[in-house]
Each structure stands twice: as structure tokens, then as C-alpha cells.
């Protein structure tokens, strides 16, 4: 599955530049966030229906990936969180490999386990949680097919 349609680049400068770099080089290894590896999610926009792309921290275990809707500890979820809830299938690229994944939000012990993995991959998540009263969502990307 390839998510097709009109591409709507991010209005956020660093996101747009990282996506451009990944597309130019063909690999997510060409960019990072604070020295840590990223993956690239391609999804359908919840409001526009357009194609959206966003790099997020790489949190992988056993072929599954977690994405953390931290937005740096802001009081509101990032827009991509709502996109994933509205259309829970994404194209995800890790390095040069791109596959289709289904998405579901984690709760309870499963969320706690993946939260620990996320903090291990990117320790700033622990600090981000202290900056907000909302529980930062953790979503799991599971390979399709």
C-alpha cells in the first residue's frame, strides 16, 4: 500500500526540511533528532485527506514500532496523532525500508512497557511528561501482511 494523493508539506520548518532531506537521500539515516535516529511516517490528514509526512523518534522492538505523541510536552497532542486515529494505516520508512503498518493506541501495562522502551530510546520523553498534565499517548505500529 502506498498512500497516494496531494502531498501537504508540514507548516513546521524543521519537519518540512527533514522530510525533504529523507526524500532526497532515500534514507531516514540522513537526519536525526538530537542525535537519535528517526523513522518517517506517511499518513492521511484527518481534516484535509491529503498526504502528510512526519519524522518521529525511532522506538523499535521485534519489528514493531512505537510513536510517542509528545509534542515536546506541549499541552495539546500533535496533529499527526489525530491523523493516525482517523486513518490508522501508515506507510513507515526506517532507513531505506518502507512498509505498511496498522496503528493502535496503547493503554495500561502495554503502554507502560512501550513507554519504558521509548524513554530508553529518547530520554527526553520523561522530561516532556513532566511539562504537561496530559498523559502523552503511545501508539503502536504493527506490520501489515
Q: Residue 2: what pLDDT? A: 80
Rounded to an integer, what distance in angstroms lies between the CA atom of residue 105 and that of residue 78?
A: 14
Instruction: Return the ∠ at Cα 59 (arms to 141 and 66), rounded to 5°.
Output: 30
Q: Quote the pLDDT of residue 1.
A: 65
Contact yes or no for 114/67 (Cβ under 8 A):
no
pLDDT in tens, 86-104: 999 999 999 999 999 999 9
Q: Which domains can be identified in the chain, with CATH numbers?
A: 13-143 (2.30.110.10)
Radius of gyration of the chain (CA): 14
Average pLDDT, the chain: 96
Look at residue 132 in the predicted model and tell me its pLDDT.
97
Per-residue pLDDT at 131 exceeds 70: yes
Amino acid at each position: 500500500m502506498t498512500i497516494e494523493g496531494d502531498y501537504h508539506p508540514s507548516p513546521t520548518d524543521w519537519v518540512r526540511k527533514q522530510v525533504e532531506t529523507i526524500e532526497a537521500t532515500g534514507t531516514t539515516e540522513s537526519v536525526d533528532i538530537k542525535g537519535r535516529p528517526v523513522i518517517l511516517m506517511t499518513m492521511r490528514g484527518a481534516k484535509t485527506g491529503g498526504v502528510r509526512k512526519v519524522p518521529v523518534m525511532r522506538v523499535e522492538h521485534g519489528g514493531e514500532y512505537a510513536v510517542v505523541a509528545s509534542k515536546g510536552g506541549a499541552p495539546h497532542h500533535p496533529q499527526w496523532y489525530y491523523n493516525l486515529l482517523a486513518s490508522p494505516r501508515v506507510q513507515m520508512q526506517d532507513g531505506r525500508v518502507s512498509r505498511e503498518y496498522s496503528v493502535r493506541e496503547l493503554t495500561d501495562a502495554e503502554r507502560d512497557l512501550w513507554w519504558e522502551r521509548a524513554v530508553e530510546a529518547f530520554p527526553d520523553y520523561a522530561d516532556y511528561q513532566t511539562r504537561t498534565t496530559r498523559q502523552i499517548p503511545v501508539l503502536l505500529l504493527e506490520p501489515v501482511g
